[in-house]
Amino acid sequence: MSEFTLDLNDDQRQLRDWLHGFAADVVRPAAAEWDEREETPWPVIQEAAKLGIYSLDFYAQQYFDPTGLGIPMVMEELFWGDAGIALSIVGTGLAAVGVLANGTDEQIGTWVPQMYGDPDDVKLAAFCSSEPDAGSDVAAMRTRAVYDEATDEWVLNGTKTWVTNGGIANVHVVVAVVDPELGPKGHASFIVPPGTPGLRQGQKFKKHGIRASHTAEVVLEDVRVPGHCLLGGKEKLDERLARARERAAERAGGGERVKNAAMATFEASRPAVGAMAVGTARAAYEVALDYARTRSQFGRPIIDNQGIAFQLADMRTGIDAARLLVWRASWMAATSKPFTAAEGSMSKLYASETAKRVTAQAVQILGGNGFTREYPVERMHRDAAIYTIFEGTSEIQRLVIARTLSGVPIR
């Protein structure tokens, strides 16, 4: 029987330290500038590509770490550097995962390399799912894809919103409705190749935080993509739709089980967002700790006061607890352990709420200085707000957990 341990192996420690060095030497010094500019930090992405951090091979290696800790370690260290820049570096991965999860081998081999490009010609990709009236409520999605049998093309129409890299990406992956009567089961994903007519960037959002990450609407007007751009292929789609129609004919109890099974597939991705939140929380905590050690009031460092020291103790405890929840869920996903208590949602919920709380406490510890842009905790506090919103709000996470524990469709 193997001994239980939380120690990282040599390869994992080397990976963590290497990424930390990149975050400290390249990402963090550029953070304030790109936050103010609210633009994609191309020079940083290019540097990441030169070092091999921005590449499919790198993320594939971490994904196949048998312990499951590769991806959360990457996310924590990069987001420790800066959340906006880090999201610009990892944002393409959202689209790549969409292709890897649903595409054929040929589609994966064709499109995923085009999403990253190479160090001399960096590319971006965008995953387009949310809509103005369909965020958590995926059943309300309106973007339609209609098959034109005469030309073997799919015609896409609709508007996507909150798209990372939306409109500036080389490759877009778009989720669209192919059978409205089937709700979420009637959705399919499509590759929109570079330069396809009819796809354009809509509104670019001026955000509260993660401002170095480009977020915009993507408008699709009679966008025609070849039949081979349907992820998984039409034969597989037709088979899936036929099964969904059969299930839709069953009584409501069976339908609810289908929905819960689909919901469970999202659980495996949520720990990565939790790891992002841990990185931001840790960064803010470290700034606050250093400040409390060096800032003197009434003739002594402010950390000598229990009011400050106890806050720091709670901050560190929350961060460590969040990381353990993220690691547990990541290990469970990697080892195919069932999420019987929605452990993926637990990790994302706790880590994201911890990041908001810890960054707010960091601002408070720094006092007036924490409220200015001269210190990074102000930016970290703004960035942390996103974690309780994207990849499912905290309210949705609680709903998923409650439904999983109770076994009933809580509303």
Active site (catalytic) residues: 391
And the tokens for 274? Answer: 């939790």
Cα–Cα distances in angstroms (integers) from residue 77 to residues 22, 28, 308, 374, in the given order: 9, 11, 26, 22
Residue 189: helix, strand or coil by DSSP?
A: strand
CB-CB contact of 160 with 132 (8 Å): no
Query: Distance between CA 62 and CA 19 in Å, rounded?
Result: 12
Contacts of 249 (CB under 8 A, 6+ apart): none
47: nearest Cα among 35, 29, 70, 63:
29
- Which stretches does DSSP call E strand in 227-369? 296-297, 300-301
Residue 339: helix, strand or coil by DSSP?
A: coil
CB-CB contact of 171 with 194 (8 Å): yes
CB-CB contact of 280 with 385 (8 Å): no
CB-CB contact of 369 with 338 (8 Å): no
CB-CB contact of 302 with 292 (8 Å): yes
The pair phi, psi for residue 349, each rounded to 5°, is: -60, -55
Q: Residue 207 half-sphere exposure, CB side, CA atoms within 13 Å?
A: 27
Calculate ∠ Cα 269-13-117, nearest 5°.
55
273: nearest Cα among 214, 316, 324, 326:
326
Contacts of 213 (CB under 8 A, 6+ apart): 40, 83, 84, 85, 87, 88, 91, 164
The pair phi, psi for residue 182, each rounded to 5°, is: -95, 5
H or E element at residue 244: helix 234-248
